[in-house]
Amino acid sequence: MSAVSNNPPGAPGASALDRYDLYELAAQSPEVQVRFLRAVHAGAPRTLGEDFCGSGAIARAWVALGPDYTAVCVDRDPEAVAALRARADTATLPRLTLRIIDVHEAHDRVDLLIALNFPVGYFHERDALVAWMRHARARCNPGGALVVDIYGGEHAFVCGEQSQDLDAGVRYTWEQREADPATGLVVNAMRFDLPDGRSIPDAFVYRWRLWSIPELRDAMRDAGFAHTDVYDSLGDAVDDDGGVHARPLAPGEPLDDDYVVYVVGRA
């Protein structure tokens, strides 16, 4: 299971794509996600922090919203940050602050801090999760928020594969190859099969802990966030100005059997 994709029209041919392009094609919808993030904030956010940013698709879409929008991108992998820099538009690159550091070493203040596509799973112990969230809380400007996501549901700890066809003739497979419900630990991998016969079997491999929604909300409260919300979609309506209407789950409202949710901690 991966985040919902929104394959752009006119995507480049498969021969021109590297693993970061393929990841963005398969697992991200940055233009939709930034509209959702603005709606979740419910104010007038201008500065985005993207922890575990990878190639920074969301941050790049954020700064494309207008000249007043800036982003701080943090990842300790130099290759990922180089991929971000290579994909950034020259006009917006000056509004992207790139940090090749551990997320605990970032201190830039932001209106919104995000960690999307499940990187909270990198924290296998609760103490480590709360410590990062406390650091995130300290980085949030007044009225700011932290947004993370997680998957769960009936098949969250079932091993297997899911495949789908992407643009440019690419076939994408998400594999859950290990899963232990007693510890919450899973191992997942992304595979890409290209139309020229080439394949990338382990383009990205993740060893995560699947935190539950209540665990994440409790951790946010212990980290100092005043209130938490849960969203099960990226918005269900768009106004005339392109703004998204995003509604948090009401108490007792059911989720799908398998779901991806966004958990928001409000500073």
Query: What are the angstrom distances between the C-alpha of 253 and each of 156, 229, 245?
Result: 20, 13, 18
Q: Are residues 86 and 114 in the same domain?
A: yes
Do 165 and 129 have their domain in common?
no
Q: How far apart are CA 193 and CA 212, in angstroms?
A: 32
Domain membership flag for residue 94: yes
Domain end among 169, 185, 208: 208
How many separate domains does the chain show?
A: 2
The pLDDT, as a whole number, for residue 235 is 75
CB atoms within 10 A of CB 93: 14
Nearest to 147 by CA among 257, 59, 40: 40
Give percent above pLDDT 90 in the chain.
Answer: 87
Query: Is it the case that residue 237 has pLDDT exceeding 60?
Result: no
| One domain, residues 36 and 79 | yes
CB contact at 8 A, 8 and 167 = yes
Closest CA to 153 of 33, 73, 258: 258
* Residues 140 and 178 both lie in one domain: no
Cα within 13 Å of Cα(18), Cβ side: 9
Q: How far is CA 45 from CA 67, 141, 238, in A?
A: 13, 10, 18
CA–chain centroid gap for 208, Å, is 14
Q: Sign of the CA dihedral 113, 117, 121, 123?
A: negative
DSSP state of 13: P
- Same domain as 172, residue 248: no
Which tens digits make up the pLDDT trace of 56-114? 999 999 999 999 999 999 999 999 999 999 999 999 999 999 999 999 999 999 999 99
Which residue's structure tokens are 């290579």? 86
Q: Quick one: average pLDDT of 171-185?
A: 98
Q: Six-digit token pair at 109?
A: 């203040």
**Residue 242: what pLDDT?**
64
> Looking at the domain assignment, is residue 1 inside a domain?
no
Strands (E), 34-130: 47-51, 70-74, 96-99, 110-115
The pLDDT score that the predictor gives to residue 5 is 38
How do residues 128-168 score in pLDDT, each as one tens digit? Answer: 999 999 999 999 999 999 999 999 999 999 999 999 999 98
In a domain, 3, yes or no: no
pLDDT value of position 1: 39
165 plus 116 within the same structural domain? no
Q: Which domain holds residue 169?
A: 160-208
Q: Which two tokens stand for residue 56?
A: 């920074």
Q: Let me know whether 233 and 196 are in one domain.
A: no
Q: How many CB atoms lie within 10 A of CB 240?
A: 5
CATH of the domain at 47: 3.40.50.150
Residues 56 and 124 in one domain: yes
Question: 208, 223, 242 — which closes off a domain?
Answer: 208
Asked if residue 199 and residue 167 are part of one domain, the reply reads yes
Of the pLDDT bands very low, low, confident and very high (cuts 50, 70, 90), residue 236 is low
pTM of the model: 0.92
DSSP category for residue 54? T
Ramachandran bin of 54, using left for φ above 0, alpha for ψ from -120 to 50, beta for the remaining angles: left
**Crossing angle of the two packed helices 19-27 and 78-87, in degrees rounded to 10:** 80
Query: 80 near 54, Cβ under 8 Å?
Result: yes
Residue 5 lies inside a defined structural domain of this protein? no
Answer yes or no: do 69 and 30 share one domain: yes
Pick from 202, 148, 141, 209: which is nearest to 179 by CA? 209
- Mark whether 26 and 89 lie in a shared domain: yes
